A and B are shown apart, each in its own frame.
Chain A
Amino acid sequence: MPGGYLTTREEIEAFARRTGLTRFTPEQMEEFSRAALYMGDLIAGLPRDFAPAEEPAHVFRAREEA
């Protein structure tokens, strides 16, 4: 299932509207649909076997004075 959660053209068009992408031409909506398909390739290969406490490589630091 592409992207894991969107399968039909109608779902993809509804998703576009919900996310504010309302100015697409029909050709751009076609690009958006292809992007939904590509999303599956994009994240393929990402492991999902992380331990609960396995930290992201985030960079947030609280200021020392905070």
Chain B
Amino acid sequence: MTDLAWMGITEASSLMRGRELSPVEYVEALFRRADALDDRLHAYIHPTREIALRSAREAEAEIAAGRYRGTLHGIPYGLKDIIDYAGVPTTAHSTLLEGNVPDRDAAVTERLTAAGCVLMGKMATHEFALGGPSWDLPWPPPRNPWNTDHFTGGSSSGSAAAVAAGLLPAALGTDTGGSVRGPASLCGIVGMKPTYGRVSRRGVFPLAFTLDTVGPLTRTVEDNALLLTAIAGHDPLDPASARVPVPDFAADPGAGVRGLRVGLIRHFYAKDMVADPEVSGAVEEAVEVLAGLGAEVRELQLEPLELYAACSRTLITSEAYAVHEKWLRERPDDYGASLRQRLLPGAFVRAVDYVHATRLRRRLVEQFEHAMEGFDVAVTVSSMDPPPRIEDADEIARTYPRQARQPFNVIGVPALALPVGYTRSGLPLSMQIAGRAFEEAAVYRAAAAYEQATDWISRRPPLD
């Protein structure tokens, strides 16, 4: 049996169904690991031990009684602390929400509870999913498990750190400008931003309404697909929720990529921004692996990265300011400096600039759809640089915007980050695979084939 800390969902599920693994023992083992490591990692804001043990006991009893709910029954997970779970504080990692206890679950929480999942706790984030790392908030920023002197990325920082460190097999994050894929990339795990509208945002504190998505973070592609299958689906109470069928994204992890048409967006990292050579080299090698597996790889030309970034900046800053205007008027002192400084430019964005950004967005969507004719998926870098040191504010400020994740938020399509190697100093490197709207299955197909052809997921961070 695999060490419980590193066990994937599929193996754990099989063992629990066969009553070779107790959900309670699984939960207790993961909490023991968190007790030993989280003083260094700061991934958790609020562990939910009582809920976890109660849920695990219920799962154990149900499975024993033959009432097995499916692959996620008894599986532990964490929630980024902007996602509601009834009766558990949602703080958004901020003083402003201290004492906020929702009385209803978020839609994604409802779905995971129905699937039999076990909430282990609420995970650290950048304050309200923007800004950071911050040192003036009630909780410290998480540390990168691969080297705790380094940044996790954000804003789903605690979710990524916990999964990468073997504290959890899975967690949910949110992605508005890259906040699932960024920390997944820097922490060496798999993070999926689904199509906008694929997963309900009900019960998730908003950052930017027209860009916000909820997505899973896991150590393997198959586990990720299992989670997305569970949380996806129409929700009439989310006005952006799409009424589209949800396939079983984990149905065929061995489908392979023979004949899959892969577009390499090289200009993002070779011309529009020049990536660190270790990053671009790892992505180019990964593309060669896909080609070696039978994928048909050609270059794909999109609009320049800066155009997407300008669109994303304008939308996020405007919409986030609208969310926070009341508190900025009434309680400016209660924000951390990093978030306040990122929100305030929103006061100056003119309506005409916002409208132009949304017009640009439509252009970019149409250009992507046109460019993707003849391709099934697109591949490019995620971060342009390896994880910076967490206390090097200048390096974080330099590298934070050097990423190629925002384009896929702006155009609303699915994009997944997965590990493609490690730097000479042992820090994770990552690439993105994106697809057309609602074609997450193609993204997972390419990602699974790459993952199975390499052995990056067998590496463990040097924590023990």
Residues of A within 8 A of B310 (CB): 43-46
Interface pair B359/A39, CB less than 8 Å apart? no
Interface pair B329/A23, CB less than 8 Å apart? yes
Interface pair A50/B359, CB less than 8 Å apart? yes
User: A56 contacts which of B307, B328, B329, B361 (Cβ < 8 Å)?
Assistant: B361
Please measure, in the bound complex, the distance between the C-alpha atom of A49 and the C-alpha atom of B347, giving whole angstroms. 24
Please measure, in the bound complex, the distance between the C-alpha atom of A6 and the C-alpha atom of B347, giving whole angstroms. 12
Flag A20-42 by CB within 8 Å of B: 1 or 0 each: 11111100100110111011001
Residues of A within 8 A of B329 (CB): 20-23
Chain A interface category by residue count: 35 or more
Please measure, in the bound complex, the distance between the C-alpha atom of A44 and the C-alpha atom of B311, giving whole angstroms. 10
In this assembly, does B32 line the interface, its C-beta being within 8 Å of a C-beta of chain A? no
In this assembly, does B460 line the interface, its C-beta being within 8 Å of a C-beta of chain A? no
Flag B293-333 by CB within 8 Å of A: 1 or 0 each: 00000000000001101110110010000000100111111
Residues of A within 8 A of B307 (CB): 45, 47
Residues of A within 8 A of B359 (CB): 50, 54-57
User: In the complex, what residue of chain B is closest to A20 when comparing beta carbons?
Assistant: B329
User: A21 contacts which of B328, B333, B341 (Cβ < 8 Å)?
Assistant: B328
Using a Cβ cutoff of 8 Å, how many contacts connect chains A and B? 92
Interface pair B362/A21, CB less than 8 Å apart? no
Residues of B within 8 A of A39 (CB): 345, 348-349
Please measure, in the bound complex, the distance between the C-alpha atom of A23 and the C-alpha atom of B330, giving whole angstroms. 7
User: In the complex, what residue of chain A is closest to B307 when comparing beta carbons?
Assistant: A45
In this assembly, does B95 line the interface, its C-beta being within 8 Å of a C-beta of chain A? no
Interface pair A50/B210, CB less than 8 Å apart? no
Q: Which secondary structure dominates where chain B touches chain A? A: helix
Q: How many positions in chain B have a CB within 8 Å of any CB in the partner chain?
A: 38
Interface pair B309/A45, CB less than 8 Å apart? yes
In this assembly, does B357 line the interface, its C-beta being within 8 Å of a C-beta of chain A? yes
Residues of B within 8 A of A36 (CB): 345, 348
CB distance from B407 to the nearest CB of A (A): 13
Residues of B within 8 A of A58 (CB): 358
User: In the complex, what residue of chain B is closest to A61 when comparing beta carbons?
Assistant: B239
Interface pair B341/A4, CB less than 8 Å apart? no
Flag B154-188 by CB within 8 Å of A: 1 or 0 each: 00000000000000000000000000000000000
Interface pair B306/A45, CB less than 8 Å apart? yes
CB distance from B124 to the nearest CB of A (A): 24
Closest 4 CB pairs of A and B: A45-B310, A56-B358, A35-B344, A39-B348
Interchain residue pairs with CB less than 8 A apart (23) = A5-B350, A6-B348, A15-B348, A19-B347, A21-B328, A21-B347, A22-B329, A23-B331, A24-B332, A25-B333, A31-B337, A31-B341, A35-B345, A36-B348, A42-B345, A47-B356, A48-B356, A50-B359, A54-B359, A54-B362, A55-B359, A57-B359, A57-B365
Give me the interface of B with A, judged by CB distance under 8 Å. 210, 239-240, 306-307, 309-311, 313-314, 317, 325, 328-333, 337, 340-341, 344-345, 347-350, 353, 355-363, 365
Give me the interface of A with B, judged by CB distance under 8 Å. 3-6, 15-16, 19-25, 28, 31-32, 34-36, 38-39, 42-48, 50, 54-59
